[in-house]
Amino acid sequence: MKSTLKKVVAVIVIIAISGTSSAVTRDAKVEPKELLDIAFVDSFQAMRECEDGQRVGKELDTMRDKLSKEIQDEATKITKEESDLNSKSATLKPDILAQNKRKIEKQKRDLEDKVRESEEEIKVAMQQRTEELAVKIEEGIVEVAKAKNVDAVIDKMTGRVMYTKDNHKGDITSDAIAYVDKKSSTVAKNDTTPRAATTTA
């Protein structure tokens, strides 16, 4: 009886060891998942802090200050003329007074037009400089990404993918196509399968 029991135990131990060995062998054959090498960049910070960005910022500030000074000087001039006219209004003939008032009103309208034109000029200049700078920054990001051999670069401020390496490890296009085709095939098959007629009692 004891001899039989020992044989049974020995067989169980051998099976257990064999199973463990097989499991280890299977695990050894499992390929580790490849991780994507993803880099992040703050494009706004890059535009703001690069030398070109600082230069553009100074140019726009200079333009804004110049236009603001011109507008302020013109507004001061109109205010003085209007004040002088009001102080002399009692001594002027009605037609002369009316003529001078019309002149001042026209100057005010012209100044309002200049304000709008100046705002548009600054807006256009800012947009043009920003677009030119953005192109330079993006070109730089792509070159750095290639040099570092990363799979993708994401702008952490906007979430936009700014670069992806050709044939990178994370491309699942073929998998997505296969999934959609398989799903469409299954749906088509179900649509063509005849359904059993239902009978109403």
Give this prediction's pTM.
0.62
3-state helix, strand, coil in the chain (%, to 5): 75, 5, 20
CA angle 39, 143, 60 (to 5 degrees): 95
For the chain, the structural domain boundaries read 34-69+109-166
User: Which pLDDT tens digits describe the chain residue by residue (201 residues)?
Assistant: 444 434 433 443 334 444 444 443 444 443 445 678 899 999 999 999 999 999 999 999 999 999 999 999 999 999 999 999 999 999 999 999 999 999 999 999 999 999 999 999 999 999 999 999 999 999 999 999 999 999 999 999 999 999 998 877 777 888 899 999 999 988 777 766 565 555 554
Distances (CA, A) of 132 to 49, 52, 121, 144: 15, 10, 17, 19
Tell me what pLDDT residue 139 has: 96
Report DSSP letters for 4-60, one per residue. Answer: HHHHHHHHHHHHHHHHHHHHHHHHHHSPPPPPP-EEEE-HHHHHHHSHHHHHHHHHH
Phi, psi of 200, rounded to the nearest 5 degrees? -100, 125
Kindly give, in sequence order, each residue whose CB lies less than 8 Å from that of residue 201, ignoring residues fewer than 6 positions away.
Answer: none
Tell me what pLDDT residue 53 has: 96
